[in-house]
Amino acid sequence: MEANAISNTGPIIHLSEINLTETLKIFKTITIPLEVSKEIKKHNIPIPKNIKIISIDAQSKNIVNLLTNQYNLDMGESEAIALTIQTNSDYFLTDDLDARITAKVYNLKVHGTIGIILRAFKEKIINKELAITKIKEMHSQSSLFITNDLIEEAIKAIQNYKNSN
């Protein structure tokens, strides 16, 4: 895939918890703002080598203030959305519902951890069995709050995918 993405803390942490950060290679580049890198390090999770850390520019700081105050987002989420806008990136990666809703206000394409796993399966980075196993592990071994219904829906999507291996 030739898409660029900006990530919030969640997907990197959740993929790390199930040993599946390799799926991030579905993106040409992944960038995180400095605040997100600090949040990831607080969780004692190494930042994957293919992720670039950058600071937001002065204009984006205004957007960060707006997002933090108007949408009640934390600094990492606000910086990641601002950076997605600043860099005109293809995707914003987050599992946070408020951040997703805010991203939609700015017409940003959003992927969460489950979407990353599904896309990695469809692009043959991981096989069907691994995709299903890791989706189940999202529920049992990660800190991501995810419903049984969403797990079942994701597994069904994998099983019904027409080009499955």
Query: pLDDT tens digits, residue range 71-128?
Result: 989 999 999 999 999 999 999 999 999 999 999 999 999 999 999 999 999 999 999 9
For residue 37 the two structure tokens come to: 């890198």
At residue 49, the pLDDT reads: 84
When pLDDT is cut at 50, 70 and 90, the band that residue 165 belongs to is very low
Number of domains present in the structure of the chain: 1
Query: pLDDT tens digits, residue range 31-79?
Result: 999 999 999 999 999 888 889 999 888 888 989 998 999 998 999 999 9
| Residue 37 to residue 33: CA distance in whole angstroms | 7
**What pTM does this model have?**
0.91
Q: What is the DSSP letter of 12?
A: H
Q: Which among 87, 11, 19 has a CA at the least distance from the CA of 54?
A: 87
For residue 144 the two structure tokens come to: 């991501």
| Residue 86 to residue 145: CA distance in whole angstroms | 29
Beta bridge partners of 53: 32
At residue 59, the pLDDT reads: 83
Q: What is the mean pLDDT of residues 15-20?
A: 95
Task: Please answer whether residues 10 and 144 qualify as being in contact, where contact means their C-beta atoms are separated by less than 8 angstroms.
Answer: yes
Task: Please answer whether residues 81 and 5 qualify as being in contact, where contact means their C-beta atoms are separated by less than 8 angstroms.
Answer: no
Domain that holds residue 148: 1-165
| Residue 112 to residue 3: CA distance in whole angstroms | 15
Beta bridge partners of 92: 6, 110
At residue 1, the pLDDT reads: 57
Query: Average model confidence (pLDDT) for the chain?
Result: 92
At residue 164, the pLDDT reads: 44
CATH of the domain at 156: 3.40.50.1010
The number of beta carbons lying within 10 Å of the beta carbon of residue 164 is 13
| Residue 56 to residue 28: CA distance in whole angstroms | 20
For residue 63 the two structure tokens come to: 């957007």
Task: Please answer whether residues 86 and 62 qualify as being in contact, where contact means their C-beta atoms are separated by less than 8 angstroms.
Answer: no
